[in-house]
Amino acid sequence: MFNLVLFEPEIPANTGNIGRTCVVTGTRLHLIRPLGFSLDDRALHRAGLGYWHNLDVTVYDSWDDFMQRCGLTTPGSEARLHLLTKKAARIYSEATYRDGDYLILGKESSGIPEELLAAHPTCCERIPMLPDETSLANAHDWAAASGADTHPSHEALHRQDICGNFIDPEDYRISALNLSNAAAIVLYEALRQTGFPGM
């Protein structure tokens, strides 16, 4: 059984959709506080439809609480972690997944905090996406509106990022997958590798 971990999720519909995917794949869902919604939120249950009451879900007060309660603080346990971030060099499909692994996604607005990525650099993986110039007709409008073109850290992207990967500033991403889409893509690759029935 896989473990899908949402670090400080903010949008109840995303968590509801992910919960539904977890139920139909026999995956445990782990939620790390603070949450951007109540677990009683109607949007959460509407997205999860009738599946939510069948979900194996655990809520944690913090990252440290999650690591402690899941037994992930012992030497060698880091190999069970898969931190999904756009800042990784390794692609998710290049990873090896084993039953019981933890697939970790960050909050919708900012992803997994850089200090956690830096603490686990060999566990970082990404989903490849087209550059904004290819996927978004109005990529420059997005960049201007968000300040990406003039942001002071943009120059720093010429150097290594927090995971030690070199970032191409011409490939600066505005767009990204919806959290529930990203979770499903990686979860199904993990299930494929481990012989999920019907695959």
146 with 171, same domain: the answer is yes
User: Is the pLDDT at 127 greater than 50, yes or no?
Assistant: yes
49/60 Cα distance (integer angstroms):
23
**pTM listed for this prediction:** 0.79
39-86 residue pLDDT tens: 886 766 676 667 888 999 999 999 999 999 999 999 999 999 999 998
108 with 181, same domain: the answer is yes
Q: Does residue 199 lie within any of the structural domains? A: no
Q: Does residue 198 lie within any of the structural domains? A: no
94 with 150, same domain: the answer is no
Q: Does residue 78 lie within any of the structural domains? A: yes
For residue 168, CA distances in Å to 2, 87, 119, 147 come to 33, 11, 23, 18
What's the confidence (pLDDT) of residue 51?
81
Q: Which of 109, 117, 128 is nearest to 160 (CA)?
A: 117
What is the rounded average pLDDT of the residues 90-108?
95
30 with 106, same domain: the answer is yes
> Which CATH number is 121's domain given?
3.40.1280.10
137/49 Cα distance (integer angstroms):
35
Q: Does residue 114 lie within any of the structural domains? A: yes
47 with 91, same domain: the answer is yes
What's the confidence (pLDDT) of residue 198?
83
25/49 Cα distance (integer angstroms):
16
When divided into structural domains, the chain yields a total of 2
76 with 146, same domain: the answer is no
As a whole number, the mean pLDDT across the chain is: 81
Could you tell me the residue range of the domain that residue 170 belongs to? 130-175
Q: Does residue 150 lie within any of the structural domains? A: yes
Q: Does residue 33 lie within any of the structural domains? A: yes
Q: Does residue 149 lie within any of the structural domains? A: yes
Q: Is residue 5 within 8 Å of residue 66, measured between CB atoms? A: yes
